[in-house]
A and B are shown apart, each in its own frame.
Chain A
Amino acid sequence: NAGVTQTPKFRILKIGQSMTLQCTQDMNHNYMYWYRQDPGMGLKLIYYSVGAGITDKGEVPNGYNVSRSTTEDFPLRLELAAPSQTSVYFCASSSPMGEGNQPQHFGDGTRLSIL
């Protein structure tokens, strides 16, 4: 059971380059999320999706874009990389909260450095 899979695990970008962080889950979860984690700052929500074709902004969406064409995949796009986007990015998925349903399952992250 793979759970939530993120690729790549590490990446170094130059300022102004673009890239896509991939996230896929095999638990048939409706909800998917992208967070960034900076030292001492906790997890900040970038974008989330409640189902295929539906996305919404989180707390820190500037500089990022997402799409959700399938239930399984939720890629995060950086169009013009900036040093402020150096961070560890986590993808998570969940079913709607309620009896018997568990909160978010996380991938192991993508470490991104912008130089």
Chain B
Amino acid sequence: QKEVEQDPGPLSVPEGAIVSLNCTYSNSAFQYFMWYRQYSRKGPELLMYTYSSGNKEDGRFTAQVDKSSKYISLFIRDSQPSDSATYLCAMSGDGQNFVFGPGTRLSVLP
């Protein structure tokens, strides 16, 4: 079993849809959870950062962490074509070493 699993997609949705992206993990020591967005030929950029369990909202983006199920989610409301990118989840137990999921490729169609 991989330490972090993520559906690679591709996921295609119409503009304005709510998008749900998910990762599962196996290491119960993880306590830092991140979502990165990566455009083609660019480096990952941080979208959301959550410590431990719970929800966090920032504009159209909501991150959820369920440590009991070892499951994290990123929701994008009112999706836009500019949201088309690859979304990477990342996790860490010590805040020093990070494990990344393989990424989900999202296309938002106008």
Contact = CB atoms under 8 A, between A and B. Distances in A.
Counting chain B residues whose Cβ lies within 8 A of the other chain, the interface size class is: 20 to 34
B44 A97 contact: no
Contact of B97 (A42, A45, A111): A45
Contacts, number: 59
Contact of A106 (B4, B44, B49): B44
A112 to B, nearest CB: 14
A108 interface: yes
A108 B43 contact: yes
Contacts of B43: 4, 90, 92, 106-109
Interface of A: 4, 31, 33, 35, 40-43, 45, 48, 50, 58, 90, 92, 96-98, 102-109, 111
Given A40-B102, A106-B45, 12 more contacts: A41-B102, A42-B100, A45-B97, A48-B96, A90-B44, A103-B32, A103-B90, A103-B92, A106-B43, A106-B44, A108-B42, A109-B43
